[in-house]
Amino acid sequence: MPAFLSLAIRTVSRLVRVIVPIAIAGACLWLVSLRLEGFSFALFLSEAKTVPLICWAGALAATYLSFWALGRYDALAHRHFETNVPVPRARFAGSSAVAISQTLGFGLFTGTLVRWRLIPGLSLGAALRITSFAAVTFLFGLAAELSLTALILPGSGISAWVGALGLCAVTAGLAVVFLHPTLDLARWHIRLPSLPALSAIGFWTVLDTVAAALALFILMPANSDITFIQLFPAYLAALGVALISGTPGGVGPFELMLLTLLPTGDPAQVLSGIIAFRLVYFAIPALIAGSALLRRPHKTFRRRRSDLRPPAALPHERSRSETAVLRQSDGKILFDRGDSIALIETAQVSVGLFDPLTGRFDRSLQMLTDRARATNRVACLYKCGPRSAVRARHFGWQVQRIAREAILSPARFDLNGSTCRQLRRKLRHAEKAGIDGVEVAHGLPFDLMERLDLEWQQSHGRPQGLTMGRYDPGYVSTQRVFLAWQGENLIGFITFHASDREWCLDLMRVPPEAPDGTAHLLVCKAIEAARANGIPRLSLAALPDHALCRWLKPGLRQFKTAFAPYWQPLYLAAPDAGSLALAAADIARAVHAPGEVPMLSAGARAEVAVEQNEFALPRAL
């Protein structure tokens, strides 16, 4: 396309974006004028005099409450994008941006510039993202509120069918947010707001709009017969139409919609109330925000030093070796002044894995809660032990048993005991088939192991994620690996997370056609190696602890039972019942629909030892 033609198209497009809203405003004002007879500024002054002074004060108070709520949208947006902007500054910038943009119009442009001006250090692109987030989520909350209002309030002037359809659309939107928390649009990777964020948006939207509608209602002339129940749904619809139209200040569409939905009110009285409302709710906040723009901005805010450390900082003497799964789950270590806990963040939940790594339990719990709040998530402890569950319940958290972990003591494991009869039979089958189990630390046959992994996936389906490891050469090379050979053929392998205090079974890739007892032989080899290395505890990992899973996975349960383990209960804990339910649902979603396996390169593997020294945490307690 020629350069001049491209320039012409862009110019016309910009003119259309400016002219169309102005044309809409003019057309709507013309339609409003058709419904007014003899309205003049003098009539407005006479109607305004009928409003008592206390009502003007009440309208100002309601306006303050509305803008106080408006600032909360920006606080949520900054948490979503993790800008680390102080909350008071984010709220003030958001309220000021709304005050200016609702008066001048072209909200995306003006709102972005105001936020950029009031928060030095915030890039223009970040300001645009904050503005877009606040605008889109507010419209979503407004749609939900308007739909519920149409269904709940009789005689609202909005059809109940419209409310029902709107509510269905909102519900579908929430389902999309939960099931597909990220959207890939061309080159953009968009993380959608979390359900906790949308819940907060819904609350602040109700508070904001109720306060704004109350200000409008208070400023209606004293002899007006319009009730708040009639005015509120009409105000919501008018506000939505005004925002979508993009006209400066919503002038035109806002007035036309209110006059249409308030047929019982005198048009002149309604318009007088709207003008008074625009003075209190638009002009005064815009003047205050404008004065803030003229002042010298505060100094650039300081970004907080990150309290997140890479998985390489895991102490090797930790009690739970399974925390090494952080390397595959984009996990981090939440750390602050000697307290630390393994952290995985799903779309809705900040998941504290197992028990705290170091420090005090109460401080780790508070640290996890603060992290969840700072990122618009809910906090939970996942697969924590009985002691942590009791402590969490002591702090008022809701606790639910979710799994049982098979635990062995390598030093006390006795293959000749009466409880291991089935295991001995399995081992005899493996020995007759000529299976040889060996541990390999270097020179792993990655090509053969990948082939076995693909065969396993063909029979078992796509591997699950989150706290369940998935095959990757870089990942398994950081583990203890045991291979099963039948002659020169590799027929299976298992891997263990390893620390000085525990080994934990992770991958088990033994295809169905492998001789009976192959996996049992490999685990016995691992128990022997753990005993030789002085490891006090060996975990065969956990199984879901409810009747349905016991019925769905009898083979895996039977396999682990053959080693006569001690079954330790594991728990899910969250601050309240709602958070507990959301955490359970989102963790299940993340387990069954994991993302791509992050590839740990050879260079990264070589750096693990270096990073462990550089970021090493205090010794685990």
The average pLDDT across 537-561 equals: 78
- Report the C-alpha gap between 266 and 359 in whole angstroms: 69
The per-residue pLDDT of the chain, averaged, comes to 83
Predicted confidence band of residue 23 (pLDDT cuts 50, 70, 90): low
Residues near 218 by beta carbon (within 8 Å), at least 6 away in sequence? 51, 55, 58, 59, 62
> Does residue 608 have a pLDDT over 60?
no
| Amino acid symbol at 107 | G
The average pLDDT across 390-418 equals: 91
pLDDT of residue 121: 85
Q: Encoding tokens for residue 323?
A: 């925390």
Phi, psi for 437 (deg, rounded to 5): -105, 130
pTM of this structure: 0.84
CA distances from 215 to 99, 209, 280 (A): 15, 10, 8
> Does residue 559 have a pLDDT over 80?
yes
Each residue of 51-84: pLDDT tens digit? 788 988 999 999 999 999 999 999 999 999 999 8
CA distances from 131 to 83, 175, 300 (A): 13, 24, 20
Find the helix or strand (DSSP H, E) in which 44 lies. Answer: helix 41-49
Find the helix or strand (DSSP H, E) in which 569 lies. Answer: strand 566-574
> Where do the domains of the chain lie, and which CATH numbers do they carry?
3-294 (no CATH), 406-570 (3.40.630.30)
pLDDT of residue 270: 77
CA torsion 432-565-441-534 (nearest 10°) is: -120
- Report the C-alpha gap between 184 and 191 in whole angstroms: 9
Radius of gyration for the chain, computed over Cα atoms and rounded to the nearest angstrom: 32
Q: What percent of the chain has pLDDT over 70?
A: 82
pLDDT of residue 613: 38
* Nearest C-alpha neighbor of 399 from the set 570, 196, 590, 550: 570
pLDDT of residue 30: 57
Each residue of 354-367: pLDDT tens digit? 999 988 999 999 99
CA distances from 151 to 154, 157, 262, 567 (A): 7, 11, 18, 52
The bridge status of strand 349-358 relative to strand 339-345 is antiparallel
Each residue of 442-451: pLDDT tens digit? 889 999 999 9
Predicted confidence band of residue 142 (pLDDT cuts 50, 70, 90): very high
Find the helix or strand (DSSP H, E) in which 494 lies. Answer: strand 489-498
Q: What are the residue ranges of helices labelled H in 153-194?
A: 160-179
CA–centroid distance for 70 within its chain: 21
Each residue of 409-440: pLDDT tens digit? 999 988 887 788 888 899 899 889 888 999 99
* Nearest C-alpha neighbor of 542 from the set 339, 417, 403, 374: 403
Q: Are 174 and 195 contacting, i.e. CB atoms less than 8 angstroms apart?
A: yes
The average pLDDT across 126-138 equals: 93
- Bridge partner residues of 497 (DSSP): 504
> Does residue 105 have a pLDDT over 60?
yes
pLDDT of residue 587: 93
pLDDT of residue 391: 95
* Nearest C-alpha neighbor of 321 from the set 496, 526, 466, 495: 496
Each residue of 260-306: pLDDT tens digit? 787 666 777 778 788 889 889 999 999 999 988 888 666 666 555 55
Q: Are 345 and 504 contacting, i.e. CB atoms less than 8 angstroms apart?
A: no
pLDDT of residue 38: 55
The average pLDDT across 496-505 equals: 92
Q: How many helices (H) and strands (E) does the chain have?
A: 22, 14
